[in-house]
Every structure is written in structure tokens, then in C-alpha cells.
Amino acid sequence: MITAGIIGATGYAGVELFRLLLAHESVKKIAVSSVSFEGQSIDDLYPSLYSLKALHNGQGMAEKCGGLLEDAQTVVEKSDIVFTALPHGLAEQYAEICVKTGKKLIDLSADFRFDQDEAIFAQWYKKNWERPGVHAEAAYGLPELYREKIRAARIVGNPGCYVTSAILALLPALKHGMVDTNTVIVDSKSGVTGAGRNNAMTYNFCECGESISVYAVGSHRHQPEIKHHCDIAAGKDCGIVFTPHLLPMSRGIITDVYAPLSEQFMAKAAGEGILEKIRVCYADFYRDEPFVRVLREGKMPATRNVRYSNYCDIQVFAVLGNKMLQVVSVLDNMVKGAAGQAVQNMNLLASFPETQGLEMIPPAF
Amino acid sequence: MITAGIIGATGYAGVELFRLLLAHESVKKIAVSSVSFEGQSIDDLYPSLYSLKALHNGQGMAEKCGGLLEDAQTVVEKSDIVFTALPHGLAEQYAEICVKTGKKLIDLSADFRFDQDEAIFAQWYKKNWERPGVHAEAAYGLPELYREKIRAARIVGNPGCYVTSAILALLPALKHGMVDTNTVIVDSKSGVTGAGRNNAMTYNFCECGESISVYAVGSHRHQPEIKHHCDIAAGKDCGIVFTPHLLPMSRGIITDVYAPLSEQFMAKAAGEGILEKIRVCYADFYRDEPFVRVLREGKMPATRNVRYSNYCDIQVFAVLGNKMLQVVSVLDNMVKGAAGQAVQNMNLLASFPETQGLEMIPPAF
Amino acid sequence: MITAGIIGATGYAGVELFRLLLAHESVKKIAVSSVSFEGQSIDDLYPSLYSLKALHNGQGMAEKCGGLLEDAQTVVEKSDIVFTALPHGLAEQYAEICVKTGKKLIDLSADFRFDQDEAIFAQWYKKNWERPGVHAEAAYGLPELYREKIRAARIVGNPGCYVTSAILALLPALKHGMVDTNTVIVDSKSGVTGAGRNNAMTYNFCECGESISVYAVGSHRHQPEIKHHCDIAAGKDCGIVFTPHLLPMSRGIITDVYAPLSEQFMAKAAGEGILEKIRVCYADFYRDEPFVRVLREGKMPATRNVRYSNYCDIQVFAVLGNKMLQVVSVLDNMVKGAAGQAVQNMNLLASFPETQGLEMIPPAF
Amino acid sequence: MITAGIIGATGYAGVELFRLLLAHESVKKIAVSSVSFEGQSIDDLYPSLYSLKALHNGQGMAEKCGGLLEDAQTVVEKSDIVFTALPHGLAEQYAEICVKTGKKLIDLSADFRFDQDEAIFAQWYKKNWERPGVHAEAAYGLPELYREKIRAARIVGNPGCYVTSAILALLPALKHGMVDTNTVIVDSKSGVTGAGRNNAMTYNFCECGESISVYAVGSHRHQPEIKHHCDIAAGKDCGIVFTPHLLPMSRGIITDVYAPLSEQFMAKAAGEGILEKIRVCYADFYRDEPFVRVLREGKMPATRNVRYSNYCDIQVFAVLGNKMLQVVSVLDNMVKGAAGQAVQNMNLLASFPETQGLEMIPPAF
């Protein structure tokens, strides 16, 4: 049993994390902070959390957390594991304290997503590292790719939502040399929660409802993050085109990945059927992963099938006369794409069962 | 630990119930049936249920249920408690078997919602009882009103979704003689799941999206159900006007109730403030109820605050120059309005903790 | 042919008005202003207006308006008829100029909605009149109630969106003494555009999507506006309970009105059937109104049927054992509830055909 | 002035067409048919069309059409130009009659979309031509590609919705040899109206709301249609990967097209900037097209900007280090993607101004 702390608990990722931790049986206490709302109660902002009488045998939310939003310092002091859910560029200071005091930290921003590569971070986030030393303690929190590194780390950089959907779609292909990595197209579509708690008119119901738009073409910060970890997984340079779209729905990402099948894979697959070969590779790769479901043939991914759960569903296709791989993945951007994956990382850091607190079954509607 | 059975598991209430029971720690096994899809697997229809690897320490759905849709007879035989989620008029036969064999049954249709009053049922559902004897074993499954009767019953008639929202809004007022019951207006608005798994064009995205409509004015079958139980609670005849509306959202009901404050209540409240008096009555009445949250002054009910949970949120107002009571209640029609309430009733029937399997925290978005 | 000016053209009502005027054949030129975006082009803010090549035989938007947002003073100078679509309390100054210079003004705020009754305005809007004289020139812009006054006026106070839906639902009943006016309940539900161009988190897609909420119970400023004009129409004091709700859709209002039928009306209707009598009164009353459609028996109002049009659809019911009148009305809050009605008023002021520029057919989806 | 007929007026494309023709000033009369609803009035099915008092100087719908759904034969007889909005494979018979009797026909199904290439049609639609002769009279109804052919034709095959969005995005690139056509990826996303009036559960609000899904990967019938006309435009064989997605909105398609820039184009553009070169090509190509808007640099396409209008908005990008062209197009699938384009084709066939009846300004919300 641990005490968990959330710095930045009133953003969308923060409050989703709070909800998951309230139901997590190995989390005894939760401390929460907010700069904007310090001194208020979290259920004042999010009335869904009011009272919660039915929780913990009638003790409600109070058993784990009074709900009071404190300052970040206090949260760090009280906690065994700290989650930072802050704008980019603010987590290092807390990471340093955690490293010094033997605590662990899971950061939901981009601050620890590029391993030792400060240059990429600086290029895309217009900011240098202030405490370079702490980055040596960090692992990238995609368990399907770096599970053992995460277990051994003190700091975890929780992946971007789009990035999780893209890498999980590509990983078996990259590991098997299945595709030519020069021209990998990643066409993603996300619900509005992806923008976080954001009062721009862009996310007003009247302006994004009943409409789809494209944005940040060629300039989205998840592009270098996808590329960085694909390069590592493939063992070579990948050319990634990444396009995000904004959908008229709250939760969920669907990502279509297109990449030419490699000559060697097509040669190897000759005789047995390329699609079947692809399918077997993917199914084998994810067989023991608790949160990745490779769909049966003929089934089409839909975000509704993973909503409010930590699952990522994947389907594979051979298109363009069997010369191109297409993979479609879906996940809930707030769960596997953010708070759920953070809890999965906490479970690894704390040696809890990896699925603990993440058994949510996606509702049918 | 019990085995639970769901007859009609592929309707919307049925599959929501299945989801809740999969996560219920006192349910060991689940058996499911469907006339339309017998022999298929439930996750074939509802792909969100596919695999569920993360469940039950990695054993997935299989630990509790293989997913195969069997026939109703088989389900009854395997189960300790049977849920019928069928069209109206089909549950009596299973109720009779359960009564004879010492099992218990919770019916989600209207068949057991009118106590011994066959006449009302026959008038509104155009069908007489075929097995009048079993009705003596039945209780109306609104725990806030009939908790002890439910504990002692063999059969539970699970309330209608609108009815739950209306009665919970009215109950303290009726019990305290707070209102003149001759003219009670119940203006309700429901999400589309209220229509069940229904392929009428009315519920097509293009025809109910971005629109609100009124329907069944003066003729909805939940009107006599509201009236029947309000009459009992008030101890006198109630005049209920009930109007349902169809909203462009999946889940949730909001109900506005308007009733003139009674002379005696206004007299009693004189001096201390009518709204304060109303508020105290409501807060006291629901103090120990695990699933009813009377909101703090100034807070406004919204269905998003109870979505995917078993909570019903209530707020009270004094309007028309303090001469009229207005109560607004919100609930998730598929949970407190259907499957969640059915589980709450199961908990009562089986002497499990009443909140078991119902600790879901409504997500913020 | 006139030049029309819009002061406050970048709010939601303002830009909707701009769209309607661009298509209006008696409007030759349009001048637009905005405090926040002065100097920008309106299609920079609303890219739907970009180019509009297909308009006016290929001349596009430019034929009528270059799109440049100017200052208010310039707009007044250029225009024959001025529309003010500003926050409450700012229109009097422009009204005064118009009166002095022989122009006419249609105000979409509440500043001219209470005839000569400054007290009500001051009570609800916390502001006194600064130029009381101009109010003598004003008519309330509900053509169905005050057509001739509007024709003769120099200033028109365009009605509130909820108010339009409520009064059109009540008007025949009030004029015929059909109901007891002491207890009139008006339960309204509106789409999100009703809040205007508003970046509060309340209207963020994630916070109002898939949810309905109630707000401003007993305190919404449209309540005194409904009451003021109902009092006049009925010739006596009306008790109005008004409750607004926020719906997960962009456009549309549905209003349910409930009022006890009067003894004299029930007496008169005895013999022929109360509902039939009500229906005839409503159908007769609105026979010649171009924008009010009393629905055929059995048809239920839905906002989708009036979306993007200037129609208000109405259906009548007798409920509570024929002792209560229920009327349901639907309209598009941005058209008949705002910009469309403003154009209708312009047509009256300028002696254009009343339906000119308002022939929009509501799309089926 | 002509009489227009719609065979299949109660499907979604049919009723949208009816709405546009009601407002078209060169259409004097409209005749409508429906197999399923013959003898009923069209406003019985689509209550938005009820009465329409404001239309045609108060004469309402009746001036042009009584609304009665007749049989197809009668509609053909009454009409100068016939629209067939039927399931695939049923239009040839009406086309033959029109050709024989000197009338013209615009077909909204796929029956006339492949020029003289019966083999492709037969392969994808599982049906041979029954009246091969009439196909010689047909033009493919994409005015931007085949304007003069359409003017000269007797029959027009109105393009598929996805196809229109894809070809308009690709056309300048193909005509300029801008891209390597071997690997053209077309990733499209459509609103639910794209499925037509379809009561499958897939399109139920609860099952497609708040979710995005992919479907028909590698097997959608619009793929061969895109390819057929791209092959012609490019003058060589194109490799088209086409993926459609279903969005939680009613109207609108967004299409992302990705294709490697050709060596010759990159060579030619060297020095001046590739993106600028692309932009100029696109802007020039569509300069005189009334319904294609190439957006200014920095502006991102969104379906809301073209909703309820006949516009197609296009933006171009150079991605993958300036080695790949990305084009994003948006249109309203029911207007430029169906009924609006059909009216545009009617205008060409009848020598009306091409924009007549299509001046709709997309609303801001």
C-alpha cells in the first residue's frame, strides 16, 4: 500500500488519474495539488466526485483523500509515488526531489519522453533541460516496449496519446523488419479531451461539434516522439509523416498507419499468404500483453470498444495488392493514452500486479 | 458467491448488466441467453467485451463466463439468481420456475412493477397476468422506498428508468406532506439508450442527433408506474402529468418535478425559510442512502456527473414566490435506471453489501 | 434596397445575421463592426465565409461586403438600418443616433424588451436607462404579437430566444382566456449556441457534450421578459415558472408549457371535446402567420424540423384528465430566436415582404 | 423553367435534392416518387417539409410540388430532367426512356460512373449492364474534370461522395505530374448520412455516437471509382489505397491524400520552394471554379466550414522533408458529395447559370 500524489490534479489527465487511483486497491492515500485551485476541493471543480458515498464500504472518497487541493511541495512530501500532470517543462524539479529522497515519479508531460536526447526535446519544446542529471534515471513508459527498463527506473516519462496508438500499431512490424521505414504514414484522429482542460473557442461545443478538422500538419510534437522510439525499435532511421485530426467526440483515438511492406518480408511470406503472415506476427507479439487486443479477422477497430478502458485494439491489413501494410489501432486517449498507462507504470514501479486498478471493461455504449 | 443468469443478455440493459456482473466480486459465474443470437458469443455482438485480458488477474472474461449465448431454460438451471431483461410480458414463466425451485428473479421489464394491481398492468400493457400467483412473491425494486420488502421477496420488479428519477425526486416531499399532490408535473428528458437496442430510424444518428423531441405525451407507460408508487408513498391519490423527451446523447435522464407546496408545509416553514426547510427534509431523508446525493446549495444537477455510475443526484428549489416546489434529479438510465439498480436489488436479495459491484466513480468526461 | 449595418458582427447572433443578410435580395450593402476584432476580416474568424465564390453570380461576398470589421460609428453612418448584437446595456447610444438621424435600429440584446418599464429592466439587468427618451420609439419585435407596432417603430427590441418559444406557445391560450394564468410552468431546453460566443469551460465539448444540465432555476432573465408580455397579452398578472436547460446540441430550443385550463374554457368546450377546441383555437390563431406551423394531430415537435429555418412548430395537448393545457414549441434559437426574427423585423420596418430572405427550408438532417 | 423529377425522393440524397430544387428558381415543378412510400406525402416522412408557409411568397411547397409520392413512371413522364436516387443497378431503365424521349437523366447511384468500362462495374457491383447502349450517352458528373462533356451529355453519372473529395484533392497534382502515382493513399472520414437512410444498428445513435471506426478497408466501391478517373486524369495507372472511416457527426467528409512528389516536380520546384510551387498550381487550377476554395496558407480545412453548402475546401502541404504531397479536402457529403453536385450537373445540362440554386452560405455553427 502506497500514498500517491498528483501534482496538477485538476487538468483532464490529472482528474482521470485521480479517479483511477481512488479505485486502486494498493493505493491507501492520495494527495492532490493545483496551482489554479489551491485551497478548493476537487469535487467543487468536478461535481461528479461529490460525496461518492458508495465508495470503500460507504466511507466515500474521504477514506483515501479529503479532496483538498494543496501545494505541490506538500504533495511530494506525503507521497511514495508522485504523478506530475503539468504543462511541458515543469516536471524536472519534482523529479530531482524524488530521486534525492528515494521516491518515484511518473510524468505525464513530454519532459522525459526522449531518453537522453536533449536536442530533440529542445528543438520541439523550445526549452533546454535544467537538471540534466535526472534524465539518466528515466525510462519511457510504454510497457509493451520497455517493461524491464520501467521496473528499474526512478522516473517514468509517460507517452503521448497519439504516440502510444502509433507505436503499438507499428511495433511488431518494426521488430520483424516487416516494412520499409522510409515512408511511414500515421494518420490519427482524436477526441476533444486530447486538448486537455482548454477553454479555447476551438473546443467549444458549437465550434468542434458536428465537424472534423485537421491541425498541426507536419508540426505536431508527437511526430518526433513517434520517430524517436520507432528509430530505436527498428534499429534505423524512420521517415514518419504524422497528421492529427480533431473529432466531434470526447474520448478516443484511432490511428491508421500505412507503410510499404519490405522486400524481404514479402519474399519470406511468399507461399503462405502475406496477410496471414502479418496477422501471426502481430498476434504472437502481443499474446501476453494484458492491454493489447489483436482483433480477429474481419473485425474492425472502433474507439467505442475501448472507451473508458486501458485496452488498445489493433487490426492489420495488406493493401495495394499486398504491397503495403495498413494497421489500425484504437485506444482511449485519457486511459491507455494517459492516466491508465500512468497507473500501469505505477504498478510496474511498485511491483503491483500490472493490471491492478485497470480491469475496467469498456461499456457497450 | 453465486451464479447469476441473464435471460436476454444482448439487449442494452442485458449487456450493461453483464458488464457489471463480470466485475462483481460475489458473482462466481454468469450464464447468458438470447433468443435472437443463441449459439453466438456475446463478444461477437459487443466487441468491447472481446478477450478482456486484463480481467480477473489475466484470466479474462472466461473465468466467469465463456460468453456463449445459451437458451433461457439452461440459464435458469445454472443460476442462483436470474435476471430477465426481456420485452414486457415474458417474465412470469421464469418467475414461476424460480419460485418453485427456490431461486430468485429480478425482472427488468414492467411485469412486476405494479404489486398486486393487475388491472393497471392490463390497461397499459394490453395483457393479463398468466400466473397471478407469482405476483404475491414480488417486491418493487426501488430500495430507497421498499428496501425491507425487497430483502424478503423472491421476485423483484426492477423500476422503469424515468420512474426511478421521478420517485426519488418526489419521495421526501410525499412522505413529508410537502406538496399538494393533485397537480404534479414530471418533465423528463432521456438519452437514446432508453429506447434499448432498437433499429427504428428514430434512433438513427442522423435523425436524433443534434435534435430534441417530445414523445408519448400523456400516453407513456411510465406515467401509471410513477402514479402507482407515488399514491402509496403519499397515502393518497396523485395527479401526475408525465412528459418524456428524447435527447441527442446516449446515457442519462434529467427530470424536473413541479408541485405546489401544501398549505400546511408553508405554514410550518414560516419563519425559517421555505427553501431551507425543504433542503433539510431532503438531506435528512437521503442521508444514509448510498446512491442518492442531495447536492449542496447552488449546485446544479447535470447528467454528466452521474454517468456510468449508480448515483442519483438531486437538487431542490422553491419557485413561484416560494409557493411551488421544483426538484431536479439526474441519473444514468442504464445504471441506476436499469442494470445498476438490478445489481443493487441482487445485493439485497443475496445479503451482499448493498454497494458491492456498484462503486463506479462517474468520470469527469 | 438598403444598406444594413451590424454592430457586434462577430458574436454568434451577429454572424448568423450577417449570413442571412448576405443572401437577402433587398440588402445591397452590409457594414460590420467588432470591438475585439476591428481591422480583421470577418472570414478570418469564421472561415466558412471565406471567398463565397458562388454568391451573387460569382461576385462572392465582396458584392455586398468586403468583410472588413470597422468601428461602430462608421457602421452607423453607412447604414439605413442598424442591428446591434452587443452585450446588454450598450445599445441605447446607437439607438439615439438612429432616432436623431432618421435611421432605424434593431437591437438583439435585452435593452428594448420591456417597453416603458425601466424598473423591471433595472431590477434584472442591474442597470438604469441612460437615454430614457429613445424607449418611446421602441416596439417589442415579436411580429405575431406586435406586427403593427413594429411597422410604426423606429427601434425594435428583438425578443429573447426562450421568450419567443414560450410566448408563441402561450399566445392563443392567453388571448382566448384558455388557462388559469396563476401557475404557468415553462420548461425549456436549449442548444449551446444559446450561450453565444462564450469560451467558458461549461460550453467546452467535453463538459457539455453527452450531458444535459439545468441552470439559472428561478433566476433567468428571460423569466421577467416572458411575464411582461404574457401579462399584456392576457390582460392580467401571470405567474410564470421558467426553467432553462443546456442540451448537447448546437441549435434549437424546445419549450414545454403547462397551465391549468380555465373553468370558463372547460365549460365552453364541454360537448365538443377539449383537445379539439384547443386545436382549433391554435390553428385559427396562427393560420396567416408565415413562420408558425401548428402541427397536425399526432405529430410531435422536434427541433430538427425547424433547424436553420425561421419556423416555430407548435403542438397542443390536453393532459391531467383534460384539465391542463400542455403546449410544446420548437424553434431554432439562432434564427426565429435571434437573427431570423431580426430580419423579419427589418422586413417590417423597411416594408419588404415579411418572408424575404427567410425562405430557408429546414434540412431533413 | 423546367419540371424536375426525383425517383427515390425519400432516401437521404433524394430528400436533400428535393430541398434544393424547391429553392431553385429555374425549377417550376417537381415530381417525386418512392417505392416504399408511394401514395404518402413526403412531409409525412420528413416533417421538416411540413407546410413551408414562408416559401414562394407564401404559397409554400404547393407552388412547386404537392408532396405526393407517385410512381416512377409518372415522374418520368412529367419531367424534363429526371434524377434517380436509387440503389445501384436500377437506373438504366429510366435512362433508356429519357434517351428515347429526349429527356435528360442524372443518376446518383454508381450505374453511370465508369464511362464505358462495364468490367469494373461488374466486378465491384456484381451486376452486368442490361442496356449497354445508354452508357454511350453518359458523362461522369464532376464538373471540375468533365464540364464540357457534361454539357453535351444526355445522362450524368453523379460521383460518389468520397470520390469527389479525393479527386478534387488530387486533380491539380495529377494534371501537373506532381506526384508519383504508384502509391497514393486516400484516408477519408465521413459523417453518418453517408450511409443513407439506413436502419442498421451500426448507425444507431448509441452505436456510432462518441466513436470513430474504420470499415471496408481495401474493399470499398469508391476505390475503383477514384482509380478510374485518376487514371484518366493522370494518363497512367494509379495505385490507390482508400480507407473510409465513420464519424460521429451527420454531414461532412474530410479526406487526407498522401503521395510522393515526383522527381521531375521536385526538380522543377528547386529554387523557389516546393510548397509555394504546389500552392500556386492548386490556386491556379481552381481559380475559376465556383465551388472549390483553395485555402490561404495557414488555414486548416474543417467540415464545419462547408456544411450545408456546395463548397469543397482544399489545403496543400509538403511533408516528409518536402518529399511528399499531402492534400486535405473537405466537403458536405450530401451537397457537393451528392445532391448539390447533382443540381450543378442539372444546371450544366439545362444551360442554367452553374451556381443557380447553390448559393448556400455555410453557417458558422
Could you tell me which residues come within 8 angstroms of residue B199 by beta carbon, excluding any fewer than 6 positions away?
Answer: D199, D200, D201, D204
Could you tell me which residues come within 8 angstroms of residue C231 by beta carbon, excluding any fewer than 6 positions away?
Answer: C237, C238
Cα C192 vs. chain centroid, distance in angstroms? 15
List of chains touching C (3+ CB pairs within 8 A) = A, B, D
Q: Using the beta-carbon criterion (under 8 Å), do C48 and D299 form an inter-chain contact?
A: no
Q: Using the beta-carbon criterion (under 8 Å), do C203 and A198 form an inter-chain contact?
A: no
Residue C354 placed within a domain:
no
Same domain for B314 and B179: yes
- What is the pLDDT, as a whole number, of residue B46? 98
Nearest CA in chain B to C210: B249
Same domain for C259 and C308: yes
B328 has a pLDDT exceeding 90: yes
Same domain for D290 and D204: yes
Same domain for D312 and D248: yes
Give mean pLDDT, residues B131-146: 97
Same domain for B167 and B38: no
**Closest CA of chain B from A363, distance in Å:** 7
Q: How far apart are the C-alpha atoms of B251 and B38, rounded to whole Å? A: 27
- What is the pLDDT, as a whole number, of residue C212? 98
List of chains touching D (3+ CB pairs within 8 A) = A, B, C
- What is the pLDDT, as a whole number, of residue B25? 96
pLDDT digits (tens, 9 = 90+) for B238-252: 999 999 999 999 999
Would you call A232 exposed, middle or buried from its count of C-beta atoms within 10 A (0-12, 13-18, 19+)? middle
B272 has a pLDDT exceeding 80: no
pLDDT digits (tens, 9 = 90+) for C126-151: 999 999 999 999 999 999 999 999 99
Whether B206 is a known active-site residue: answer: no
Q: How far apart are the C-alpha atoms of D365 and D361, rounded to whole Å? A: 12
End-to-end CA distance of chain B, in Å? 34
Residue C20 pLDDT class (50, 70, 90 cuts): very high
Lowest mean pLDDT among C52-66, D132-146, D313-327: C52-66
Which of A65, A98, A161, A312 is the catalytic position?
A161
Q: How far apart are the C-alpha atoms of C292 and A117, rounded to whole Å? A: 67
Q: List the domain range (segments joined by +) for residue A83.
A: 2-158+336-349
A202: its cell numbers? 476551438
Same domain for C328 and C343: no
Could you tell me which residues come within 8 angstroms of residue B272 by beta carbon, excluding any fewer than 6 positions away?
Answer: none
Residue B359 placed within a domain:
no
Residue D34 pLDDT class (50, 70, 90 cuts): very high
DSSP assignment letter at D200 = -
Q: Using the beta-carbon criterion (under 8 Å), do C204 and A205 form an inter-chain contact?
A: yes
Residue D276 placed within a domain:
yes
Which of D65, D161, D281, D312 is the catalytic position?
D161
**Closest CA of chain B from D278, distance in Å:** 37
Alpha-carbon dihedral sign for residues C180, C185, C191, C197: positive
Specify the amino acid at residue A40: Q
Nearest CA in chain B to A303: B48
Residue D356 placed within a domain:
no
Give mean pLDDT, residues B50-67: 93
- The CB density around residue C148, as the number of other CB atoms within 10 Å, is 10
Residue of C10, C51, C365 best to disrupt the D interface, most CBs of D under 10 A: C365
Q: How many domains does chain C have?
A: 2
Residue D362 placed within a domain:
no
Q: Using the beta-carbon criterion (under 8 Å), do D210 and A185 form an inter-chain contact?
A: no
Is residue C361 within 8 Å of B220, Cβ to Cβ?
no
pLDDT digits (tens, 9 = 90+) for A231-242: 999 999 999 999
- The CB density around residue A248, as the number of other CB atoms within 10 Å, is 27
Q: How far apart are the C-alpha atoms of B67 and B30, rounded to whole Å? A: 9
Same domain for C217 and C135: no
Domain CATH code at residue C55: 3.40.50.720
Residues of D in contact with B208 (CB under 8 A): 205
- What is the pLDDT, as a whole number, of residue B50? 97
Nearest CA in chain B to C208: B304
Same domain for A316 and A168: yes
B216-251 as b/e: b if 16+ CB within 10 A? ebbebbbbbbbbbbbeebbeeebbbbbbbbbbbbbb
Residue D235 placed within a domain:
yes
Q: Using the beta-carbon criterion (under 8 Å), do C319 and B241 form an inter-chain contact?
A: yes
**Closest CA of chain C from D287, distance in Å:** 10
Q: Using the beta-carbon criterion (under 8 Å), do C206 and A203 form an inter-chain contact?
A: yes
Q: What 3 state SS string does chain C have?
A: CEEEEEECCCCHHHHHHHHHHHCCCCEEEEEEECCCCCCCEHHHHCHHHCCCCCCCCCCCHHHCCCCEEECHHHHHHHCCEEEECCCCCCCHHHHHHHHHHCCEEEECCCCCCCCCCHHHHHHHHCCCCCCHHHHHHEEECCHHHHHHHHHHCCEEECCCHHHHHHHHHHHHHHHCCCECCCCEEEEEEECHHHHCCCCCHHHEHHHHCCCCEECCCCCCCHHHHHHHHHHHHHCCCCCEEEEEEECCCCCCEEEEEEEEECHHHHHHHCCCCHHHHHHHHHHHHHCCCCCEEECCCCCCCEHHHCCCCCCEEEEEEEECCCCEEEEEEEECCCHHHHHHHHHHHHHHHCCCCCCCCCCCCCCCC
Nearest CA in chain A to B14: A364
D272 has a pLDDT exceeding 80: no
- What is the pLDDT, as a whole number, of residue D203? 98
Is residue A100 within 8 Å of A93, Cβ to Cβ?
no
- What is the pLDDT, as a whole number, of residue A63? 93
Sequence length of chain B is 365
**Weakly modelled stretches of chain A, pLDDT under 50:** none
Residue C14 pLDDT class (50, 70, 90 cuts): very high
Q: Using the beta-carbon criterion (under 8 Å), do B205 and D205 form an inter-chain contact?
A: yes
Same domain for A27 and A145: yes
- The CB density around residue A129, as the number of other CB atoms within 10 Å, is 17
Q: How many CB pairs under 8 A join C and D?
A: 130
- What is the pLDDT, as a whole number, of residue A51? 95
pLDDT digits (tens, 9 = 90+) for A128-161: 999 999 999 999 999 999 999 999 999 999 999 9
- What is the pLDDT, as a whole number, of residue D270? 77
- What is the pLDDT, as a whole number, of residue C100? 97
- The residues facing D140 across adjacent strands are D157
Would you call C216 exposed, middle or buried from its count of C-beta atoms within 10 A (0-12, 13-18, 19+)? middle
Beta strand residue intervals within chain D, DSSP E: 2-7, 27-33, 69-70, 81-84, 104-107, 138-140, 155-157, 184-190, 213-214, 240-246, 253-260, 292-294, 312-319, 324-331
Residue of B211, B223, B258 best to disrupt the C interface, most CBs of C under 10 A: B211
Q: Among D77, D49, D76, which residue's Cα sits nearest to residue D65? A: D49
Q: How far apart are the C-alpha atoms of D164 and B115, rounded to whole Å? A: 61
Would you call A19 exposed, middle or buried from its count of C-beta atoms within 10 A (0-12, 13-18, 19+)? buried
Residue D269 pLDDT class (50, 70, 90 cuts): confident
Give mean pLDDT, residues B21-45: 97
Residue D363 placed within a domain:
no
Q: D263-272: which pairs have CB atoms within 8 A and are 24 or more residues apart?
A: D264/D177, D265/D176, D265/D177, D265/D178, D265/D179, D266/D322, D266/D323
Residue D33 placed within a domain:
yes
Specify the amino acid at residue D234: A
C263 has a pLDDT exceeding 80: yes
Q: Using the beta-carbon criterion (under 8 Å), do B249 and C248 form an inter-chain contact?
A: yes
- What is the pLDDT, as a whole number, of residue D57? 86
Same domain for D196 and D326: yes
Model ipTM value: 0.97
Q: How many CB pairs under 8 A join A and D?
A: 144
Q: How far apart are the C-alpha atoms of A123 and A121, rounded to whole Å? A: 5
Residue B219 pLDDT class (50, 70, 90 cuts): very high
**Closest CA of chain C from A343, distance in Å:** 23
Domain CATH code at residue A301: 3.30.360.10
Q: Using the beta-carbon criterion (under 8 Å), do A239 and D320 form an inter-chain contact?
A: yes
Same domain for C130 and C169: no
Residues of B in contact with A304 (CB under 8 A): 48
Residues of D in contact with C311 (CB under 8 A): 53-54
Q: Among A203, A245, B305, which residue's Cα sits nearest to residue C192? A: A203
H helix or E strand, kind and range, residue A27: strand A27-33
Same domain for B277 and B259: yes
Beta strand residue intervals within chain B, DSSP E: 2-7, 27-33, 69-70, 81-84, 104-107, 138-140, 155-157, 184-190, 213-214, 240-246, 253-260, 292-294, 312-319, 324-331
Residues of C in contact with A209 (CB under 8 A): 192, 205, 209, 249-250
